[in-house]
Amino acid sequence: MKDLTPIFSPRSIAVVGASSRPLSVGWETMNSILRFGFTGTVYPVNPKAPEINGIQAYPSIAEISEPVDLAIMVVKRDLVLPAMKQCAEVGVKGVIVITAGFKELGGEGAALEEKITAVAREAGIVMVGPNCMGVFNTYPGVKLNATFARFDPKRGPVGFISQSGAMGAQILDFSSERHFGFSKFISIGNKSDIDENDALEVFTRDEEVGVIILYLESFADAARFREVCLEASRVKPVVVFKAGRSEAGAKAASSHTGALAGSDTAVDALLASCGALRVDTVGELLSVSQLFSAERLPEGDRIAMVTNAGGPGIIATDELENAGFVFPELEERTVAKLKEQLPPEASCANPADVLPGTGAKGYEIAVEALSDDKNIDMLLVLWTTPVMVKTKWVVDAIKPLCEKSRVPVIGMFSGASDVMLDAAPLGELGIPIFSHAPGVRAGLVAGRRYREWLERKAVPPIAFDVERHKVAAIIDKAGESWLEAEDAFVVLECYGLPVARSKVVAADADIAAEAGGLRYPLVMKVVSPDILHKSDAGGVIVGIQNSDELMQAKNNMLGALDKNAAGAKIEGFLLQEMAFGETELIVGVNREPGFGPLIMCGLGGVYVEVLKDIAFSLAPLDGDEPARMLGRLRSAPILRGVRGSKGVDIDAIADVISRVSQLVTEHPRIEQLDINPLMAGVGGCVAVDARIKVVK
């Protein structure tokens, strides 16, 4: 783990490029450090100014007589390399390069960045950036704000890692309105040295950080992220806003799995595999951060709500019920208290509507009664501002009740900005305050997902006894190509997968004679490197009952292929004993660059790309993940059996997925794999078609 103490807790800072010109980055960065009350020593470095902000300035960092822990560079791009060399000479331990114009521009900028990074690494300097917004640390013993953000950060439990300086600034701005604070922030920029994995590793061990949020546009090392995040998410929530969901630029693939997968699918699988909670918008990131900044989190999905307005209450109820939260009946004693003290017109059910006219007293009565109800796991206080009641009155009335509430309290205060400002005292108690129902939903859904993650037991991958060396020999012989159909089935058999008895017959062979060792009925499939979707081209015929039908099937298929796949190379025909099962499934693999093998399962056959009822996960899969993947399918109830049907053998399918995971983990040259269909029934499953692509 890299030591980021010089970055987050320096005793002295040199601002290289500090400026006396207002609104310049050099001015704003220097001003932020001083205004926030940095507890160490600050040295402005500027060869043209004797002093800046009343502090003596130095022509270069080499002129500073005292040791410097951290140098912050806000000079022009061409001056960064000479300044870095000076830092190396005088023993600076950490550098933040805010200056832009490097790798993000390519060419000369990228070459210059490599030189700067090389100097830093040779000298043992930890470097943040370049092209970043800086860092801050709100710990009272440090009080460092080395950014040019508009607002000084509020102290709180959030550790924030942002690849984009602009997004970092935006989220920090919004947080000032949401009443939650930060422990530390780092803008990693081009991440030439310090990347998200280094920062995540440090934040995991930092007791000042209670929740970690990240804004990322790319992964420096996805495999290491998985490892580091897996450790982090076991001790604190990790929330990720990964930009770039578009499929534009995704690698073209020639298998079902490859066609359905993509870089963003791999990101989803990566984050799910290590307990990170993915969000899709800045609003969701802020809402989830608010929820996890709370002093207490709900331990279940049962919710009670108090409101003073019917419409907003209905909207919030719909939003939360649609997300799987439950509004249970209240205890009889709770209802009795409400009926005794509220006006007859008030609703004393759940949600409880105290009506606008009851004002602060109505909320005081409802919060006191509801917060002690044993049928609920949380209390949502929804407030819409009527003209005759001030928000402050309501907040003052319920604040002591929220402090002693048996269950966590969540606030939703709707109205102009002054409403949220008046609700701030509740936020200071560690109560998350939202302005709209979708924010409440996003926060609570993330809280539930994290609770489920913590409850999940770690089960190591299953290790099967397999013929690994035999598979390696087949792959070595193939070079870089799709395996022959016979070899593909042998590979599956070597890893214990059930396959239909089959035989490949050359295109010019006597097909009836060659089929002598197989039992009818048979299935005949074309063997061609040029035909992916065999059924579409007429390259699959089922239910062949005897040798006469087999010869006729061959003639019919050749005619169809001549029409539908003219010019395709026909190498032969795969003959298989017909496998019977109630359901066609697919199990596949696509190796995503930087992520590793992406495993897919779902409904197969000709419907796989139409219905797209599929689930993905990154290999190696832990022992329980195959069953979880099957459980995530929309068709999961059908697979388990509904309305008298017995369903299929889930354990057998999960076993196939586990074996495929081991196969592609142990043989990294397997780039793509499709078992489609995998015929599944009550008594097991069998692979009836397989394609495997290997690369060098």
- Judge contact between 72 and 48, C-beta under 8 A: no
In angstroms, rounded to a whole number, what is the distance separating the alpha carbons of residues 28 and 32? 6
Supply the mean pLDDT for the chain: 93
635-644 pLDDT per residue, tens: 999 899 887 7
- For residue 417, give Cα distances in angstroms to 82, 179, 424: 48, 12, 11
Residue 257 has pLDDT above 80, yes or no: no
Domains annotated for the chain, with CATH where assigned, are: 5-291 (3.40.50.720), 294-455 (3.40.50.261), 468-480+490-577 (3.30.1490.20), 583-694 (3.30.470.20)
pLDDT at 259: 52
What pLDDT band is residue 692 in, cutting at 50, 70 and 90?
very high
- What integer pLDDT is reported at residue 247 of this predicted model? 53
Task: Say yes or no to pLDDT of 348 above 90.
Answer: yes
Work out the pLDDT band at 260, boundaries 50, 70, 90: low
Distance, in Å, from the CA atom of 443 to the CA atom of 429, rounded to the nearest integer, reads: 18
Q: What is the mean pLDDT of residues 157-181?
A: 87
pLDDT of 608 strictly over 70: yes
- 666 closest CA partner among 468, 387, 413: 468
Residue 417 pLDDT greater than 80, yes or no:
no
Predicted confidence (pLDDT) per residue in 642-678, tens digit: 877 788 999 999 999 999 999 999 999 999 999 999 9
Alpha-carbon separation of residue 475 from 322, 523, 528, 657, 663 (angstroms): 49, 27, 19, 20, 12
- Choice between 138 and 178, residue whose per-residue pLDDT is larger: 138
Predicted local confidence at residue 428, as pLDDT: 87
Mean pLDDT value across residues 494-512: 93
* 249: confidence class by pLDDT, cuts 50, 70, 90: very low
Decide if pLDDT at 166 tops 60.
yes
- Does 250 have pLDDT greater than 50? no
pLDDT band at 246; cut points 50, 70, 90: low
SS3 280: coil
Token pair in block for residue 152: 């000084």
Cβ–Cβ < 8 Å for 16, 61: yes
Query: For 167-181, 218-232, 276-290, 383-397, which range has the lowest pLDDT when averaged over its residues?
Result: 167-181
> 655-682 burial, b if ≥16 CB within 10 A, otherwise e?
bbbbbbbbbbbebebbbbbbbbbbbbbe
What pLDDT digit, counting tens, does each position of 14-72 carry? 999 999 898 899 999 999 999 999 999 999 999 999 999 899 999 999 999 999 999 99
- What does the pLDDT read at residue 175? 82
Residue pLDDT, tens place only, 620-635: 999 999 999 999 999 9
Is pLDDT larger for residue 247 or for residue 137? 137
Specify the pLDDT at position 248: 44
Q: In this structure, how many other beta carbons lie within 10 angstroms of the beta carbon of residue 100? A: 18
Largest CA distance in the chain: 101
Residue-wise pLDDT tens digits, 550-600: 999 999 999 999 999 999 999 999 999 988 887 999 999 999 888 999 999
Whether pLDDT at 251 is above 50? no
Q: Averaged over 513-541, what is the pLDDT?
A: 91
Q: What percent of the chain has pLDDT over 90?
A: 82
pLDDT at res. 388: 87
Per-residue confidence band for 610, with pLDDT thresholds at 50, 70 and 90: confident
| Mean pLDDT confidence for 74-98 | 97
Say if CB 214 and CB 239 are below 8 A apart: yes
Confidence at residue 587, expressed as pLDDT on a 0 to 100 scale: 97
Mean pLDDT value across residues 125-146: 97
| Mean pLDDT, residues 219-224 | 94
What's the pLDDT at 103?
A: 92
* Closest to 486 in 3D by CA, of 498, 505, 509, 504: 504
- 160 vs 256, more confident: 160
Helix crossing, 485-494 with 468-478: angle to 10°?
Answer: 160
Which whole number is the average pLDDT over 96-108? 94
At 179 the pLDDT is 72
